[in-house]
Amino acid sequence: MADNRTGIVMTTQKTLVSAIQTGINSALNKIYTCLPAKVITFDPQTSMAEVQPLFLKKIGDEIINLPPMKEVPVRFYQTKNFSISIKLEPGDEVSLFVCQSSIDNFLFDSNLSFDVRKFDINDSFAVPVLYSQSRVFEGITNKGIELRTNKSSIVLDSDGKIEINSNKASIVFDSEGNIKIESEGTIDLNCLKLMVNNKPYLTHTHTDAESRPTSPPV
């Protein structure tokens, strides 16, 4: 009889543990934190996007794709008076950061309010910082701050040098004050006044012309 009771207790414990685990898994299945997504459309006027979460979800025995999300806030580096933004196109990959609670009031009037909603995917904002390894830009200099496109770059080195590069031209400002310009095309200077060594280059005159060496600019 004791053995039977022991078996019943063990079975009950296993059932209880299984029920608790099922409850935990069910709760965790409703919690979102951060996941990758792909841009479908982006409105630069409102900084809102429609995105497709790149995430599979299991419901019962079925594995499904999460539906597209509309009016997802996209956030770049920004303060009250300054911002840095980049072009977003359909197919670009982004991170969806899911807030701990509702951000509806914060987004539209900067006020906070209590809401029972927790870790809901509808409280997400997108940041273009997560992307697959196949999309990594190669050849990052790792010397300082670097702005790049697939055809040009601007690098601010830690030693004070600034380098601007395009496909067929470059400008380098070194830490000693030297400037080097290289171009495979035409360099146009359009200005009202151009000074070279404190001399007006556009209007300066020379003496001793007519078959004789000219004097320095006057």
Task: Please give the model's pTM, rounded to 2 decimal places.
Answer: 0.73
According to the model, what pLDDT value does residue 110 have?
Answer: 66
Q: Give the tens place of pLDDT for each residue, 155-208.
A: 999 899 999 999 899 999 999 999 999 999 998 988 888 888 888 887 777 666
Q: What residues does each domain of the chain span?
A: 32-133, 144-200
pLDDT value at 12 more than 90: no
**Could you tell me if 125 and 99 are in contact, meaning their C-beta atoms sit under 8 angstroms apart?**
yes
> How far is residue 76's CA from residue 85's CA, in Å, rounded to a whole number?
6
The arithmetic mean of pLDDT across residues 98-119, rounded, is: 80
Q: What does the pLDDT read at residue 126? A: 97
Is the pLDDT at 91 greater than 70? The verdict is yes
Confidence of residue 213 (pLDDT cuts 50, 70, 90): low
Predicted confidence at residue 209, as pLDDT, reads: 58
Q: Which fold has domain 32-133?
A: OB fold (Dihydrolipoamide Acetyltransferase, E2P) (2.40.50)
